[in-house]
Structure 1
């Protein structure tokens, strides 16, 4: 999917011979249009919040589905229960949540929450798909910034960003969230 082409810049009319030249313009040419989607395609913040909430609840449910049975198993086993099994299960769950759920699904069209609410993450300049590397960087940047500051700054950034309502993580990896329907 690519964005519609911008309208051609307005050019001043030619000056007839023998008349004074008009005052100089601020630019010798029209400035290039800003990259990105038209404003009507930018995803509303409310839908983005709800999509993130659905994704968070889904990953939390998955973590509980993996960790609770391991904890139950360890409680019922005698003293020599394999603690390594519990550690491996928890580490795999965290790695899945950090490195696969959001980045992999974002690179292939959108997470469950984004698809549910008709949203998609695309490249800012082209409107094309986001590769796995950019999706992974986007997700890890948001996670890192939000956890280092203990404030969801990466997501709050979208509330004052103009014209594309990009989160801080979107700005850094040059992505934007758009509506698909």
Structure 2
């Protein structure tokens, strides 16, 4: 196995070689996502308050527009952070990062793919499809072996590794 292929040649190969960074634990991933979800909640409160006012008299149309705006902004946050450094604020706090499966590098454009698969289904939250997909997506890493990948990792061909 060459140095450029720290996680094997295909996504369904064997364990990472001894020289590559260790995979992040499910607990680290959960806590990092919890921090990032806190940011999403703050963003949602700001957007909802701006769109509906303090009385919160939302119509279905206004709420759908708010959901589109909230999840689109979250997509941009996640996409920018992952494509540049492989880390969101939550991942920085937990000392983990997203890495390309093929060579361990910063995801670049794959960060945008990963962000899209994670964030954009939230737009469908009004019909519960987004919430059900999100739940399945984030739980996937609890049974995925050997790389602990969520569906957004599989789509972007990434893994989450420890940085320190």
* Pair in the same fold by TM > 0.5: yes
Count of aligned pairs: 141
SS at match of 1:178: strand
For the pair 1:134 / 2:105, whether they are aligned, the reply is no
TM-score of the two chains, using structure 1 as the length reference: 0.63
Give the Å deviation of 1:121.
0.2
Q: Decide whether the 8 Å contact of 2:138 with 2:150 is kept in 1.
A: yes
For the pair 1:162 / 2:162, whether they are aligned, the reply is no
Give RMSD over aligned pairs.
3.4
Higher helix share: 2
Structure 1 residues 89-137: Cα deviation after superposition (integer angstroms, max 9, x where no partner): 835434212x301111111221111111111001011000101x31221
Equivalents in 1 of 2:103, 2:131: separation in Å? 32
Structure 1 residues 21-57: Cα deviation after superposition (integer angstroms, max 9, x where no partner): xxxxxxxxxxxx8585648610000010011111011
Give the Å deviation of 1:179.
0.5
Equivalents in 2 of 1:128, 1:66: separation in Å? 34
Q: Decide whether the 8 Å contact of 1:119 with 1:180 is kept in 2.
A: yes
For the pair 1:150 / 2:129, whether they are aligned, the reply is no
TM-score of the two chains, using structure 2 as the length reference: 0.69
Instruction: Name structure 2 gaps, 5 residues minimum.
Output: 7-12, 57-61, 123-127
Q: Decide whether the 8 Å contact of 2:5 with 2:103 is kept in 1.
A: no
Q: Which one is further off, 141-150 or 53-62?
A: 141-150
Moved over 4 A (4+): 3-6, 33-40
Equivalents in 2 of 1:106, 1:65: separation in Å? 23
Q: Report the CA distance shift for 1:177/1:127 in structure 2 as closer, same or farther (over 3 A).
A: same
Equivalents in 2 of 1:57, 1:50: separation in Å? 11
**Residue of structure 2 aligned with 1:54, choices 6, 18, 35:** 35
Q: Decide whether the 8 Å contact of 2:15 with 2:146 is kept in 1.
A: no
Instruction: Name structure 1 gaps, 5 residues minimum.
Output: 7-32, 76-85
